[in-house]
């Protein structure tokens, strides 16, 4: 009588790792957006600690997606459209339901992914230009990087506008700011800072999963030791330094168990889930307020 052997564990596909990241992100957001509900408030710190695993796993999957996509320009354009879509969803819900459910800040991690992919593509073009001695290709790629600097300057100038001249019409001011942030975000003002964009770029060019794990270890160390370096604390990356961000090191085993396979493909699931789950948590908070009389 032959015995059936249990299936051998073959590691995680990029799709499975992305699902893990989605779960960790949801746990994190239950605390971030739902802390008015007692159970989420009670375990606030623990939920946020678990949530630190989400971003590095998403960046890891992003580097694999950029490496294996059929068309990098189309992939980049799709990322930008998704980021704009999330921004506009936030803008619309803030405008029509902000006084009821509450307003969302325009925190949109899809712009982190967009800039990471953009810089990867442009750096690859620079490397290719050097190999082929093609000046035109190199100039265009460098110009693309320089353009992101102009985007940062535009965002800085916009933030310096004195909106007090609009008087008490806060709704118009908020709408204007939300619309701006829906289409244009500085690479220095993204949700996880330029530090994570750099981490994603290095992950991409390392190529193998062991090197990517080392990159994550390195940046976890930067987040830990950076809290003790004064000029870093007061820089544009200061808000991601220190506890609990360095605990993203716990995502290393998931990267090491990556089996190199794509797995199932649900291209638009995350793009839809990202804004909808945050809003669902806010609706749950609103319902809690109604029943609790808060």
Q: Is the pLDDT of residue 1 over 50?
A: no
What is the Cα–Cα distance from 259 to 249, expressed in whole angstroms?
Answer: 19
278: helix, coil or strand?
A: helix
Instruction: For residues 151-179, give the mean pLDDT.
Output: 84
Instruction: Find out whether 203 and 216 touch, Cβ atoms under 8 Å.
Output: yes
Please give the share of the chain, as a percent, with pLDDT higher than 70: 95
In the block, which residue shows the tokens 């008015």? 36
Question: So what's the pLDDT on residue 4?
Answer: 59
Radius of gyration of the chain measured on its C-alpha atoms: 21
Cα-based distances in Å from 29 to 22, 84, 206? 10, 21, 31
**Residue 30 clears pLDDT 80, i.e. is over it:** yes
Q: Which two tokens stand for residue 35?
A: 């802390």
What does pLDDT average to over the chain?
Answer: 92
pLDDT band with cut points at 50, 70 and 90 for residue 67: very high
DSSP type of residue 164: G
Task: Provide the token pair at 126.
Answer: 């620079």
pLDDT surpassing 60 at residue 170: yes
Cβ atoms within 10 Å of 157's Cβ, excluding its own: 9
What is the Cα–Cα distance from 123 to 145, expressed in whole angstroms? 9
In this structure, of 127-131, 156-160, 250-254, the range with the lowest mean pLDDT score is: 156-160
Short-list 271, 275, 279, CA closest to 79: 271
pLDDT at 143 over 60: yes
Q: CB–CB of 193/240 below 8 Å? A: yes
Question: Would you state the pLDDT for residue 252?
Answer: 98
Q: What is the pLDDT of residue 97?
A: 87
pLDDT at 3: 58
Q: Which residues of 184-220 are buried (b: 16+ CB within 10 A; e: fewer)?
A: bbbbbbbbbbbbbbbbbbbbbeeeebeebbbbbeebb
* pLDDT value at 165 more than 80: no
Strand partners, 12: 258
φ, ψ for residue 265, nearest 5 deg: -120, 115
Where does residue 269 fall: left (phi above 0), alpha (psi -120 to 50 degrees), or beta otherwise?
Answer: alpha
- How much is the average pLDDT of 220-244? 93
Q: Sorting pLDDT into bands at 50, 70 and 90, what band is 210?
A: very high
Q: What is the mean pLDDT of residues 205-221?
A: 96
Output the pLDDT for position 167: 66
* Confidence check: pLDDT of 207 > 60: yes
Quote the pLDDT of residue 250.
97
Structure confidence at residue 103 (pLDDT)? 84
- Taking the model in full, what pTM does it have? 0.94
Per-residue pLDDT tens digits for 39-58: 999 999 999 999 999 999 99
**At 173, which helix (H) or strand (E)?**
helix 170-183
């Amino acid at each position: 009588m032959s015995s059936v052997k249990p299936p051998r564990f073959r590691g995680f596909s990029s799709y499975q790792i992305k699902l893990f990241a989605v779960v960790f992100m949801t746990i994190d957001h239950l605390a971030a957006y739902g802390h008015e509900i007692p159970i989420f408030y009670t375990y606030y710190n623990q939920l946020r600690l678990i949530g630190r695993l989400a971003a590095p796993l998403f960046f890891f999957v992003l580097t694999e997606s950029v490496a294996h996509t059929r068309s990098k320009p189309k992939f980049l354009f799709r990322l930008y459209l998704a980021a704009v879509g999330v921004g506009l969803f936030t803008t619309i819900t803030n405008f029509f339901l902000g006084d009821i459910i509450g307003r969302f800040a325009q925190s949109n991690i899809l712009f982190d992914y967009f800039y990471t992919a953009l810089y990867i593509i442009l750096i690859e073009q620079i490397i290719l230009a050097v190999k082929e001695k093609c000046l035109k290709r190199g100039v265009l790629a460098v110009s693309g990087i320089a353009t992101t600097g102009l985007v940062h300057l535009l965002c800085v100038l916009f933030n310096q506008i004195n909106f007090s001249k609009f008087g008490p019409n806060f709704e118009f001011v908020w709408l204007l700011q939300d619309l701006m942030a829906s289409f244009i975000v500085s690479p220095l003002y993204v949700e996880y800072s330029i530090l994570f964009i750099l981490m994603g770029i290095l992950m991409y060019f390392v190529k193998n999963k062991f090197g990517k794990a080392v990159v994550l270890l390195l940046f976890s160390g930067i987040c830990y030791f950076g809290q003790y370096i004064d000029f870093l604390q007061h820089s544009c990356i200061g808000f991601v330094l220190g506890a609990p961000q360095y605990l993203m090191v716990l995502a290393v085993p998931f990267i090491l168990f990556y089996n190199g396979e794509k797995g199932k493909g649900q291209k638009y699931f995350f793009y839809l889930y990202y804004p909808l789950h945050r809003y669902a948590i806010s609706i749950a908070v609103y319902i809690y307020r109604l029943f609790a009389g808060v």
